[in-house]
Amino acid sequence: MSRSMVAAMRTGNARPRRLRYVASAPDIAGNGRATDGYIMVVLLVAMAVSAVWMGAALPAWRQQVVREREAELIFRGEQYARAIYLYRQKNGGQVSPPNIDILVSQKYLRKKYLDPITGKDFLPLGGAGAVGATAGITGVRSTSNDGSIVVYRNQQVYSQFPFDWPLEAQKAGAAVQQGQTPPGRGQGQGRDTGPGGTRGGGVGGAPRGGGVAGPRGGASQPPPPGGRATGPAGGFGPGGPARGR
């Protein structure tokens, strides 16, 4: 067999292998595209489910945020009212602070809190208090006119929440009443003092042990059988105690 025939046979055997390899390339590309399509569908479904879940949870999340701001509003407003009350107590109970800064500088208030609803300063309320009192700040208010979720002292509008010092005075008075001690023992009802003022509680100044005593310094009563006679002023009679036979 000549070399040309051997070369032809080798060339003929190589061609089918090359054709089979080229024919399998489109199949591999097609399988890759199908896999990419499934992944895209899964991602779209996951995004749709997440959007529905977030849409359902968003109102509850917003309500929780509002409740936290309302709680902070009440805390800060009561801090202002308490500071004004302490300032008045320190100054005789008749002088209100002229401004908020003096409460901070004199350590009645930790700092100048902002309204958590609006992010701005509270609105101070001034005016004359009781008769003879000087004008000054009596409380603070929020500047927001929005409705609230929480009901604070029968009010559901932020600007109507009352943060005034008289409310703090009422709280302090209630605390003092709860902490009062009961009346002391012996105020007209001692254990050894009766209505007549004698030890033992006898009526009409009766001596301890019973019986009816005569006036102080008067004649003694006759002794009972087998008893002892008493003399004037509650002492023993003349001749010492008389014993019964």
Looking at every residue in the chain, the average pLDDT score rounds to 72
- Is residue 112 in a domain? yes
**pTM, whole model, 2 decimals?**
0.52
What is d(CA 119, CA 232) in angstroms, rounded to the nearest whole number? 90
Give the residue numbers spanning the domain of 108. Answer: 68-175
- Is residue 228 in a domain? no
Average pLDDT in the 192-221 region?
45
Q: Domain count of the chain? A: 1
75, amino acid identity:
F
Q: Looking at the chain, how many residues does it have?
A: 245
pLDDT digits (tens, 9 = 90+) for 2-21: 666 556 566 555 444 444 44
* Helix, coil or strand: residue 13: helix
- Is residue 131 in a domain? yes
More confident residue, 135 or 58: 58
How many beta carbons lie within 10 A of that of residue 105, not counting itself? 10
Pull the structure tokens for residue 236.
């023993």
What is d(CA 118, CA 235) in angstroms, rounded to the nearest whole number? 89
